[in-house]
Amino acid sequence: MNRALNALQSTKSTRNLGLKHRNTFGFEVSAELAYDITVPEQIPEVMSEIAKQKLAWRVLGGGSNVILPKILAGATLLMNIAGQEIISADDKNTYLSVGGGVNWHEFVAWTLEHDLPGLENLALIPGTVGAAPIQNIGAYGVEVAEYIDSIIVFDVKDQAFVTLTKDACCFAYRDSYFKQNPQRFIVTQVVFKIPKSWKPRIHYADLAKQFFENANPSPEDIFLAVCKIRTHKLPDPKVIGNAGSFFQNPIIPIEQFEALLKKHVDLVSYPDLPGKRKLAAGWLIDQCGFKGQRLGSVGVYENQALVLVNHGGGTAQDVLSLAQSIQDKVRAEFGVSLVIEPNLF
């Protein structure tokens, strides 16, 4: 009770808060009204005030998967709920409770420090724990949904905290119940279920190359290898603004894939659901000649065509204009539609 009382008393709003440091594209952004959320108990009162004033609102974590306009109208909730702990264990699994504002990569490192392997393939993905299930982040053959037990959220519609089971989250490729129902849920805590049995997952090409002579790497080996690969392929947002992979890998019917393969024998793809095939969006973009191209202050990263970058002074509109050109060219060349991965606020 004291914790909740103190939280409410300390909840304060800041007007016209600069958020350049809070979005990895490094856009010059200003929030009309920002709330610093450090404990879940702050949320009901803040949302009640927002409703009374009929303000537009959104939650902002690490700003790694968003495209922000110059002015964020209304209210912005800055998700800064910290904390991670082991809450229980049984013969097969260990359960962890993690605050929505915890840095994702730091959390992955923490699990290895506590001998809880499983998430190492997801190392160095920018953003927060609270944002991870919304997008169902994934990399190198692993999706975060595989390790989620439940999620504690504030249901804006019902004005109450609820716990959603993994099944209720409707996870799919880069998708979830949260993404399908925007602005209904605010993720405050994620409960992870980490299996005690562990096997290395290194079947993806980049990882397989790293461990060509080592079929049984340790979790720490995989963690370091993933960091090495991502550092080489993806630019550091502190050096050059970006939101990581900008487009989802498109999933197409097997008939369309086979027709494309006849025209493009080196087409890069991965198996997906029965009757479907996942294409490498970066390869499609590269084949259209965009890798390394620059359009004013924005461009396509020279080492990975899937990444759009802000060289400095770029805006959301600049990036979206470039993205539209890429989508148009890929559709014309391959008959495939690319879907933007970051959220547009």
- Which positions are catalytic? 174, 245, 341
Contact between residue 267 and residue 279 where contact means Cβ atoms under 8 Å apart: yes
User: Encoding tokens for residue 126?
Assistant: 């920018």
- Torsions phi, psi for 82 (to 5 deg): -100, 180
**Residue for token pair 């968003």:** 66
- Interacting residues of 193 by C-beta distance below 8 A, sequence separation 6+: 93, 94, 95, 147, 148, 149
Residue 221, CA atoms < 13 Å, CB-side half-sphere: 15
- Interacting residues of 199 by C-beta distance below 8 A, sequence separation 6+: none
Helices 219-233 and 104-113 meet at what angle, rounded to 10? 160
Contact between residue 97 and residue 88 where contact means Cβ atoms under 8 Å apart: no
- Interacting residues of 55 by C-beta distance below 8 A, sequence separation 6+: 33, 74, 75
User: What distances in angstroms separate CA 171 from CA 45, 137, 175, 297, 340, one per listed residue?
Assistant: 30, 10, 6, 36, 18
- Interacting residues of 208 by C-beta distance below 8 A, sequence separation 6+: 202
Q: What is the 8-class DSSP label of residue 250? A: P
- Looking at residue 30, its amino acid is S
Give the integer Cα–Cα distance in Å for 234 and 291: 13
- Torsions phi, psi for 167 (to 5 deg): -60, -35
Task: Give the containing element (helix H, strand E) for 329.
Answer: helix 316-334
Provide the β-strand partners of residue 242. Answer: 309
Contact between residue 27 and residue 316 where contact means Cβ atoms under 8 Å apart: yes
